[in-house]
Amino acid sequence: MSVKLEDSAISSLTIENATVNVTKGAPKEGACQTDPILMLDAPCDSMERGETGTQTEASEQLGEEERSGVRISEEVIVRMLEALSESGRSRKIYERLNTLHDTTRVHLTTMRTIPIMPPPTASIIDIVAGSADRAVILLGEVMHETWCAHECGLRVINRRTISSVLLPTCPTSAGFLERDLIAVGTVGGEIYNALCFDKVSNQLFSAPVSSLYVPSSGSLVAVSIDGHIRLCALKGAELAVTKSLEVTVSALPRSIRATRSTESEARIGLVSVSGTDKEMCIVSETGGIWTTSLTTLSLQSIPAYPQPLASVIFRPPHLILHGDDGRVHVCTISGERVDSLPNRARKVVVSPDGLLIALSATSATPSIAFHDLIKRRMIIEIETTTPLLSIAVKGRDGLLTVAEDAQIVEYDVTRV
């Protein structure tokens, strides 16, 4: 018998398979015998799309009362606002106590004054501090013609005693190789190993030695205006060159090379070197900046622009550039400028705790400026009674200065 579905309303539909005999009460496939069996008759529409809901949609079926959330009384809100206001007032009170722990102020205490009595025809070039209360003062002239005929030498300070060392040519830079052994570069390209009155000469360059740097005890890095970098090691009383590199125009970045000669093999003058016990930074007189490892001596150029540079201080992650015009810029290792000192400086040094100390370049208003490298802000600028010629960091909290009246003044630097 056949029935047309459209001729009658269907409330339920059951289709039995005559070929399969299902035992009443037997478990269905995928179920167990203890499962309850529930059968309902419900109308269905063959064209209606079935619902495929998920468990996460159950919250949408909640009633209006269940979705209303938690109600907070007005009294609770008032108490919360009062607690926030009281917390703000307490925070302002405690912030005033932070000044007791703030180390953004610097206090200088004069420890001692030492007269050095230089030769009447010699000028004070620089002062370099060593360990164990030792220092050396370079005496001579900065400007030279084709030869040096000045009265020049050193004043070596060993605790409370001062000794003199005469040199045939004017010194340019110095560094302590060991406790009592001083390496001194001269305008003639020599490097002297000065031990009080004894000295041994090493002719390493054909032009003046511009800068010396001691990475570790018994080792020395020297650069010269002739474009050479020499890595030396102390063997006995002499310095032996272990590595050497010649820097030419081809090593300059393109931004500076365009202003130089087209001869890529021409050597360029190197004016300063500074670094740590593993790597160092070298700068040229035209603004070239390079970093290199002491083991490989392979130069890595840092992006720069043409500028006359006088010295560099390499204290990762900071790079301090001191120009011929006295301007001081603080940069990152990648060459990005992050800060600049407001006034021009004659000389800049960095203390072990990251304090940048700059000596004023103007003798009319002599002063020493202190700049925090980490916080990138000026701390204080202290005026001095007499004009100063040079400064040097002594240990962790000491500062040596050389005044125009040939007096060495030692200060204790305290951050309060």
Q: 359-371 pLDDT, tens per residue?
A: 998 877 889 999 9
Determine what percent of the chain is predicted with pLDDT higher than 90.
35
Model confidence at 219, pLDDT cuts 50, 70, 90, reads very high
CA distance readout (Å), 347 to 102, 323, 350, 372: 27, 10, 11, 16
- What is the reported pLDDT for 61? 53
Give the whole-angstrom CA distance, residue 163 versus residue 157.
7
- What is the reported pLDDT for 56? 52
| Mean pLDDT computed over 336-360 | 92
**4 pLDDT exceeds 80?**
no
Q: What is the CA radius of gyration of the chain?
A: 40
Q: For 85-116, write each residue's pLDDT tens digit.
A: 888 888 877 776 665 555 567 888 889 888 88
Query: Structural domain boundaries of the chain?
Result: 106-415
- What is the reported pLDDT for 1? 47
Q: Retrieve residue 99's tokens.
A: 């000044």
Give the whole-angstrom CA distance, residue 81 versus residue 74.
11
Model confidence at 47, pLDDT cuts 50, 70, 90, reads low
Q: Which residue has the higher pLDDT, 15 or 272?
A: 272
Q: What are the two backbone dihedrals, phi and then psi, of residue 319, each rounded to the nearest 5 degrees?
A: -135, 115
Q: For 158-201, write each residue's pLDDT tens digit.
A: 877 888 888 888 999 999 988 778 999 999 899 998 765 567 78
Single pTM value for the model: 0.72
**222 pLDDT exceeds 90?**
yes
**348 pLDDT exceeds 50?**
yes
**Overall fold of domain 106-415:** Methylamine Dehydrogenase; Chain H (2.130.10)
**10 pLDDT exceeds 50?**
no
Q: For 65-88, write each residue's pLDDT tens digit.
A: 555 567 788 888 888 888 988 888
Question: What is the length of the chain?
Answer: 416
**304 pLDDT exceeds 70?**
yes
**2 pLDDT exceeds 70?**
no
- What is the reported pLDDT for 326? 92
